[in-house]
Amino acid sequence: MLVSAGGDLGAAPPPGVAAEAAYAEARARMVREHLVARGITTPRVLEAMGRVPRHEFVPAELRSRAYEDGPLPIGHGQTISQPYIVAFMTEALEPKPTDRVLEIGTGSGYQAAVLSRLVAGVWSIELVEPLARRAAADLKRLGFTRVKARCGDGHLGWPEAAPFDAIIVTCAPEEVPPALVAQLKEGGRMIIPVGSQWGAQELVLLRKTPAGLERKPVLPVRFVPMVKGRR
């Protein structure tokens, strides 16, 4: 082996550096092949998807699959949504830098992390306490300080922080919860999957106007059900 006076120029990078470089490459490929190629066009959304480390939000044994375009289990019967759906819902919400956003269904924390790069603040609620604790810890560890997370019933929203410019729901109720509509500002947007656990579900974009809610079905989907907490 040839070694220069300054050291081994062919030495491999430390394992951590090599792994992060591989993840960054996989993330860039995800953006090109699964987002841009399928019609996601908003530069800010693409930049956020290209920067947030999805592998940090999945179980360690699944990190090699973190940038595939599919959901992955995160425990307790829940999943992290596929990257395309995360990007699609984020883009549909038209996030602005000054927005205050409510998220129902923190799950792994990944969607909240993506949104936090695009808006002023994210308030995120998760019903399953172990998931809520883990997501809050991961978001703090990774420096996503614009996210406030807590355990609670998403049907009730976060009234003391309302009103919100936008609301994103990552679990499917059979009907849009009235409390969430009440906590949405006039002119605000809500993206939410609606439908039965066993039947058809539709991703719906709502806009709150003086005349009421404008409702636009945008995509057939399959989400875990939105469960009510104990009262």
Residues annotated catalytic, as ranges: 81
Tokens of 156: 């009730």
Distance CA 43, CA 21 (A): 22
Distance CA 171, CA 194 (A): 8
